[in-house]
Structure 1
Amino acid sequence: MHPDLLVKALAAIEPRTTLEKFCAASGIVSKSVAKSLLGFLACNNVGTITANGIEFASSDRLYAAMLALQKGCDIEQVSRHLSWKDFEKLASEILISFGYRTQTNVQLTKPRTEIDVVGVSSAFAIAVDCKHWKRSNLSSMLGFSRKQAARAQRLLKSDRKITLAVPVIMTLHTESVKVACGVPVVPVHKFKSFVTEVKGFLPEIYVAG
């Protein structure tokens, strides 16, 4: 599948659509090409082709973006079609699948700030900052990490039921930095394994608590 077609598909992914709407939104004129593209996506667990059209899950745009990157698409082209909401949905789905209760856009005060996604299991929390844009330099990543660590500390003060909180930055791609200021920097395709293994490497990362 040509990478450019995968980028075009990102603009056309909606919860429920038809072949005609998909062609119009993606800019793909040929219905046969669009059908082939939709079949390719479905074979890679992105979208479902039904008798009435095509259905996409809330996180399918991000899964399609990950697939596009694997096929060699330019990261800046891909990121233009994504929002932080796409990342929030996927992070929440993964955390829920592991038994976490989740909240998005968690507001904190004194100082006023926000955490994109918080997953809580018993008294343990994972606080996720979703970054969907192009690669960041080391200085920027260190700044993001310090701010996320501070948010994790604020989370403990705002919810006394949480005794430990792990701040994490989730990115679209693999950064050269894996840990910044003790805060894990996790590419979206590795977030599931991170959630699985996080309690095993708590001594190696920053933990608020």
Structure 2
Amino acid sequence: MSFEREVLVSLLKITREGAADFYDLCRETRIPSQIVRDILDKNSNLVTYSLPLEKVMITYEQRMKIALRAINLGADIERVCTFLTWLEFENMAILAFKANDYETKKHFRFRWFNRRWEIDILGLKNPFIICADCKHWHHKWSGSASIKAANMQMERTKMLAEAFKALDHRIPVSAWKYAYFIPTILSLLPANRKFYNNVPIVSVLQLRDFLYQVPAYLSKIAHYQFSL
């Protein structure tokens, strides 16, 4: 058994509602308290441990990093993901957008061609509109599943671009001269490939770097350009 792996997975489990008691963590793992302390010290960049209060605290971002660390140590992906919520995943993405000065809209719904469409997260920063589809993480997230997701997100993004002028009252870009609509897939784990049909597949922990690099790599990624 990897003590570190078990401690990290148990951390995800007992901190789903916020800070947790150190000794609850020890009981959950059934690992001696000194070993648990040593593991927390080793992962001090991922965990805030208050010795006087015997409390363990971790942020959204730290929980995502702990999940990846546990998986890299051999933890079962499905097991890890049962302790992560969809809201955490979306909030982590929102933080990355805001860190790069993007405005965001969650669950953006619209009608076009007699159909209802939804974009999980819109990221807005002149002249870019990132249309992100948040995919739940699991071991089958590769191959045909990635290709299908990329193609569907391209279609959603194209529909939004075509419908955009009818929706401009809902998206604050009236001062822009033009816009690039960029379909993007977000996941917890990196996919086998970074692009499918030029649609970027981005780990949520790499989203900040991706957003920073969008202007330089625009010609290499799928997008739809419209004058406003």
TM-score bin (small chain): 0.7 to 0.9
Relative distance call for 1:204 and 1:118 in structure 2 (3 A) is same
The answer for the alignment partner of 2:119 in structure 1 is 115
Pick one of 73, 76, 79 that aligns with 1:77.
Answer: 79
One-letter amino acid of the structure 2 residue matched with residue 154 of structure 1? M
Code of the residue aligned with 1:28 in structure 2: it is T
**SS of equivalent residue, structure 1 residue 144:** helix
Give the corresponding residue for 2:213: 197
The aligned counterpart of 2:29 is 28
Deviations for 1:45-87, whole angstroms, at most 9, x for unmatched residues? Answer: x232234423322333212112222333332332232233222
The match for 1:49 is 49
Offset, 1:107: 2.2
Contact 1:79 1:134 in 2 (8 A): no
1:144, 1:128 → 2: CA distance?
11
User: 1:86 and 2:88 equivalent?
Assistant: yes
Offset of residue 129 of structure 1: 1.5
Aligned to 2:158: 153
TM (norm. structure 2) is 0.77
Partners of 1:4 and 1:16 in 2: CA distance? 18
* Matched-pair contact (CA < 8 Å) for 1:66–1:189: no
* 1:75-125 residue CA offsets vs partner (Å, 9 max, x unmatched): 233223223322211111111111111222222333223222221112312
Partner-residue secondary structure (3-state), 1:116: strand
- Rate the CA distance shift 1:31–1:202 in 2: closer, same or farther, 3 A: same
Unaligned runs of 5+ in 2: none
TM-score under structure 1 normalisation?
0.83
Give the aligned residue type for 1:140.
Answer: A
Which structure has the bigger radius of gyration?
2
1:60 counterpart residue number: 62
Measure how far apart 1:177 and its partner are: 2.4
Q: What stretches of structure 1 of length at least 5 have no aligned partner? A: none
Structure-2 residue corresponding to 1:130: 134
Question: Which one of the candidate residues 1, 7, 10 is aligned to 2:9?
Answer: 7
Identity of aligned residues (%): 24
Q: C-alpha distance in 2, partners of 1:137/1:47?
A: 31
- Separation in 2, partners of 1:182, 1:206: 5
Q: Distance in 2 between matches of 1:73 and 1:21?
A: 20
Alpha-carbon distance in structure 2 between the residues aligned to 1:85 and 1:198: 25
Contact 2:186–2:202 (8 Å) recurs in 1: yes
1:145, CA displacement in angstroms?
Answer: 0.7
Say how many residue pairs are matched.
Answer: 205
Compute the displacement of 1:190 (Å).
Answer: 2.6
Structure ranking higher on relative contact order (CA contacts 8 Å, 6+ apart): 2
Task: Please report the RMSD computed on the Cα atoms of aligned residues, expressed in angstroms.
Answer: 2.4
| Higher mean C-alpha deviation, range 142-151 or range 72-81 | 72-81
Rate the CA distance shift 1:20–1:106 in 2: closer, same or farther, 3 A. farther
